[in-house]
Amino acid sequence: MALWADYQRIFYGSGILDFKYFPTLPPLYYAQLAIYSFYTLLRIGGLQDPVLFYHSTYAIEGVFLKLPMILADMGVFLLFVRTGRILPAVLYYLNPFMIYLSAAWGTYDSLMIVFLVAGFVALEKGNKPLATLAFTVSGLVKLFGFIPLALIVLDNIARRRFKDISVQFAIVSSSVAMTFAPVILQGGLQTFFSGFSRFVGISTAQGTGWNIVSALQGTQFQAVSPFVWIAYLSIPVFFVLQIRKSSSLLLSVLKASLLGAILLNIFSQAEPQWLSWPIPIALIYASATKRTGLSYYAYSFGAIATFLVMTLTQGSSYILFGLLGGAYLAPLEGFVGALPVYATTTLSLLLLLIGYLYGKPVKFKLEVLALVMIIYAQAYFWFSIIGIQNL
Amino acid sequence: MWQLSAPSSTVANLDANHLLSLSITFSKQDVVQAVSISRNVNFSLDENPIVIVGMSVSGGVHYGIRFTGTTPSGATFDAWREGSRLQHRPGLGTIENVTANLVAETYLANNQLPLPGSKITRLWFYVEATIGTSGDFSLQATSLQAFELKQTTTSSTEISGTFSGIVINLGLPSLSQSIFQAYASYDIRGTSDLRYTPFLVSGTSVLAQGYTYTQNAFTSHQVAVLLPQRVTGFPSILPNANFSSIIISADAGSITHFKIEDLTFKLTSTSDLGTGSVDSNTAQLFMASYLVFLFVTPVAAVILFVKVFKNEN
């Protein structure tokens, strides 16, 4: 949040538009610049904005900085409602994880998700150019959005639809050029390359990861785990196998994208907020295939992910009071071995999601929550009490 | 003359003919085991403060190097500290050249610079095994050399040669503002084993630290972000106490070419991740409402929605 506030204050205070070092892809910057202008007007009009505890932003300022993400969540809700998906709309909009990410933490995954969902809705209606545009914008917010787009292009290549490919190329290239023009003019492409190289696994910066591979090995990978290629290779291979079996492009892209979101969470240096990516895709897939069990599991997945992320990664003290190191929910947070406990439990959640995706459609049973709690308790025993990772 | 110290549960054989070769057999124990070996040396900190040790230690155990010295008046001092990158290093099974700036190590250990005329008089190597580790391991020291610290100064933004570190003097007095993050954009090339970490220092305080980088096969350009939250180490070069600087410190290998492109510093305008406390009653009230609005209300709303619109069939 301090980062978002920093860039907005620099622009509205000094007129400096700093694209060069903005740490995400530029659409978030554009969205926040637009919405923050209303906050600036309020401040000019005499609004007194209090500092809340030790947060790095003022109270109302924080709301405006998170507003693009909150509006994006409302957009997803409306997209679901307009396509007759009332239950998925409710399960998404009232999902604790989406509330936590957008309204509490302030991460911007919802901005990617709203265009991702719009892309799938357009694809469902057979409007491929609109789907291409939506997936491109989604990918320009977070690179994951390019995965369904790449699968559609792959399908067009296989079916030799060169006219469609030309249209898609025109949409993607013009969107990318327009989005990046200000960044290129300010010489910020090297920064983008640094971020891009981290996502695809060619960066040389070492760092710890939240994923199971890194957590259990205690290894510092060079930005991503060396197993990320399993995810990158599996997605197109699975898509080709899937579309040979199914005549539906939508279902094949949905299923492969969902698998991609799961595998990237397992094998790359996934951030905790990436756990939100499978939720909307699972809800659309469940709705299209009438798998209500999957719908309810996607909701539970989000609720459990919220608990894990708020206690084992960010810490409730940081979100509520802007302080690091406080453990107001002790003994649930701040314990030894929290990273492997988090990684083990999220891995079990992701594997269960694969089960709901590939197994026969089953009713959702609350026992699955008990199962995850047992896995969490087991992980807590072995990693926190016994400390087997240190033996 | 090397002196060996090993617990009774451990078998250690020393061969110190030209190069040091230590063979160790650890038996399975419920406690941490360690074998240490030491000898007298004579390095002048004024003349030869840089030490490079060629080491090869088996995988599965950790090792470290420690130095102690004496001042001209005969007082002894430590030139090592816990937490330094010279301590508790994992054995890799391959030869490593471990570089140490003993003036910096002495400063960090004692919080003061060594007195002129001080010498390093004793050297220790140790190998340690965690609980339950057993088997045959070895430590070999293939070389031990002390060098003077050569500094090359340039006003150009570009420099070539063989360097263990680059210091970019910012020409500023010590920074008093709170740093939020710094970006350093540069071109760097080096030996194939180059591994380095950028630091932002104000005097001898590390304000921000970057990631540890190796060479990039795709481009020599790098945009490094340095964050206060990442500060865990200290550069191998002792910074000038009167200035702020960016230090590119090679952990392994050498830098052969460096060109700085630009530096950007972002300072906090409000407190960030500040230290402080919240009244426990207020904290409990906020925590309770947080949990209610994050979990209880949404889940209850979903359950009610599903019940209300349940299909008649």
pLDDT for A379 beyond 90: yes
* Distance between CA atoms of residues A211 and B129, nearest Å: 28
For residue B260, tell me if it sits in a domain.
Answer: yes
- DSSP 8-state assignment for residue B209: E
Digit-coded pLDDT (tens) for A143-178: 999 999 999 999 999 999 999 999 999 999 999 999
Share of chain B above pLDDT 90, in %: 26
Digit-coded pLDDT (tens) for A42-60: 988 888 888 888 887 889 9
For residue A72, report the phi and psi dihedrals to the nearest 5 degrees.
-65, -40
Contact A94 B301 (CB under 8 A): yes
pLDDT for A223 beyond 70: no
> How many domains are contained in chain B?
2
Give the pLDDT band of residue A213 (cuts 50, 70, 90).
confident
Please report the sign of the dihedral spanned by the C-alpha atoms of residue A39, residue A43, residue A46, residue A51.
positive
Name the residue among A243, A259, A235 with its Cα closest to residue A156. A243
Judge whether B185 is closer than 8 Å to chain A, CB to CB. Answer: yes
In chain A, residues with a C-beta closer than 8 Å to the C-beta of B225 are: 23
* Statement to judge: residues B195 and B263 lie in one domain: yes
Cis, bond preceding A236 (omega within 30 deg of 0)? no
Task: Give the per-residue pLDDT at A287.
Answer: 95
Digit-coded pLDDT (tens) for B11-32: 777 666 657 888 899 888 888 8
- Answer with the one of B227, B248, B267 that is the final residue of a domain: B267
Highest mean pLDDT among A71-80, A245-254, B27-36 belongs to A71-80
Please report the sign of the dihedral spanned by the C-alpha atoms of residue B287, residue A308, residue B227, residue A24.
negative
For residue B279, tell me if it sits in a domain.
Answer: no
What residues 191-210 of chain B have any CB closer than 8 A to a CB of chain A?
A: 210
Task: Give the per-residue pLDDT at A205.
Answer: 60
- Answer with the one of B114, B147, B180 that is the final residue of a domain: B147
Contact B305 A90 (CB under 8 A): yes
Query: Could you tell me the CATH number of the domain that includes residue B135?
Result: 2.60.120
Give the pLDDT band of residue B174 (cuts 50, 70, 90).
low
Smallest Cα distance from A271 to chain B, Å = 17
Query: Quick one: A126 exposed, middle or buried, by C-beta within 10 A (0-12, 13-18, 19+)?
Result: exposed
Nearest CA in chain B to A206: B212
* Distance between CA atoms of residues B249 and B233, nearest Å: 11
Q: Are A341 and A376 in contact (CB under 8 A)?
A: yes
For residue B249, tell me if it sits in a domain.
Answer: yes
What residues 320-339 of chain A have any CB closer than 8 A to a CB of chain B?
A: 320-326, 328-329
Task: Give the per-residue pLDDT at A47.
Answer: 86
Digit-coded pLDDT (tens) for B184-233: 888 899 998 888 999 999 888 888 998 888 876 666 777 788 888 788 77
* Statement to judge: residues B68 and B204 lie in one domain: no
Q: Are A165 and A153 in contact (CB under 8 A)?
A: yes
Residue B141 Cα distances to B42, B80, B145, B250, angstroms: 17, 19, 11, 21
Least confident of A111-125, A206-220, B52-66, B137-151: A206-220
Smallest Cα distance from A60 to chain B, Å = 15
DSSP B44-59: ETTT--EEEEEEEE-T
* Statement to judge: residues B124 and B197 lie in one domain: no
* Statement to judge: residues B167 and B109 lie in one domain: no
The tokens for A241 are 């196998």
CA B293 to chain centroid, in Å, comes to 43
pLDDT for A371 beyond 60: yes
In chain A, residues with a C-beta closer than 8 Å to the C-beta of B181 are: 3
Pairing of strands B165-169, B213-214: unpaired
Domain limits at B14? 3-147
Give the pLDDT band of residue B177 (cuts 50, 70, 90).
low
- Answer with the one of B96, B125, B147 that is the final residue of a domain: B147
* Statement to judge: residues B134 and B178 lie in one domain: no
For residue B76, tell me if it sits in a domain.
Answer: yes
* Statement to judge: residues B210 and B79 lie in one domain: no
* Distance between CA atoms of residues B107 and B235, nearest Å: 12
Residue among A2, A54, A299 whose CB faces B302 most closely: A299
Q: How many residues does chain B have?
A: 313
Q: How many residues does chain A have?
A: 391
* Distance between CA atoms of residues B296 and A226, nearest Å: 40
The ranges assigned to domains in chain A are: 2-181+207-390
What residues 181-200 of chain A have any CB closer than 8 A to a CB of chain B?
A: 190-191, 193-194, 197
For residue B285, tell me if it sits in a domain.
Answer: no
Pairing of strands B10-15, B89-90: unpaired
Q: Are A298 and A91 in contact (CB under 8 A)?
A: yes
Across chain B, what does the average pLDDT equal? Answer: 85
Digit-coded pLDDT (tens) for B68-92: 999 999 999 999 988 888 889 888 8
Residues in Cβ contact with B279 at an 8 Å cutoff, skipping those fewer than 6 apart: none
pLDDT for A12 beyond 90: no
For residue B275, tell me if it sits in a domain.
Answer: no
In chain B, residues with a C-beta closer than 8 Å to the C-beta of A390 are: 130
* Statement to judge: residues B137 and B174 lie in one domain: no
CA angle A369, A375, A380 (to 5 degrees): 125
Tell me how crowded residue A12 is: count the other CB atoms within 10 A of its CB. Answer: 17
Residues in Cβ contact with B244 at an 8 Å cutoff, skipping those fewer than 6 apart: B170, B172, B173, B174, B175, B200, B201, B202, B203, B207
What residues 59-98 of chain A have any CB closer than 8 A to a CB of chain B?
A: 86-87, 90-91, 94-96
The tokens for A343 are 């990684």
* Distance between CA atoms of residues A330 and A127, nearest Å: 51
Digit-coded pLDDT (tens) for B227-285: 887 887 788 888 877 888 999 988 888 899 999 988 888 776 554 444 567 888 888 89
CA angle A191, A192, A198 (to 5 degrees): 95
Judge whether B313 is closer than 8 Å to chain A, CB to CB. Answer: no
What are the strands, taking DSSP E only, across chain B? 3-5, 10-15, 20-26, 33-44, 50-57, 62-70, 76-78, 89-90, 95-101, 119-129, 135-147, 158-163, 165-169, 179-190, 195-202, 205-209, 213-214, 221-226, 244-252, 255-267
Digit-coded pLDDT (tens) for A326-336: 777 878 887 88
pLDDT, mean of residues B294-300: 94
